[in-house]
Amino acid sequence: MSSTKHSRQPHRHSGELLREVVSAVVPEQECPRYMAFARELYSTLHRPPIPDFTRRSKLVARKWFERGLSGRLLWRIGERLVARLCSTAKPDNDRN
């Protein structure tokens, strides 16, 4: 029996991860605007952006920045989203 991607990463397909990331960074009254950005950015992250975000991810951030969202908050959302995705993608075996 082979394992599926769904069983290894059940969190990836829910909006819960995005809500957690956005609410940790953005004031409550502005969350809906930044949630739209987070959903679009998330769709560009097919693998960890190491050493940098893909061109497509950068274009998404630029588009939302030009729409008036805070660049600092966009960066923090992207940073937290990548950190959360990377932490769920690899096991934490090297900590003792």
* Tens-binned pLDDT, residue by residue, of the chain (96 aa): 555 544 444 444 458 999 999 999 999 999 999 999 999 999 888 766 566 788 999 999 999 999 999 999 999 999 998 888 877 655 544 444
Helices (H) and strands (E) in the chain, counts: 5, 0
Output the pLDDT for position 35: 95
Whether residue 9 lies inside any domain: the answer is no
Whether residue 41 lies inside any domain: the answer is yes
Whether residue 32 lies inside any domain: the answer is yes
Output the pLDDT for position 10: 44
pTM of the model: 0.74
Do residues 81 and 61 lie in contact, with contact meaning Cβ atoms separated by under 8 Å?
no
Q: Is 3 left (phi over 0), alpha (psi -120 to 50) or beta?
A: beta
Tell me the residue type at 51. P
Range of the structural domain that residue 73 is part of: 15-89
Whether residue 3 lies inside any domain: the answer is no
Output the pLDDT for position 90: 57
Residue 91 and residue 79: Cα distance in Å, rounded?
20
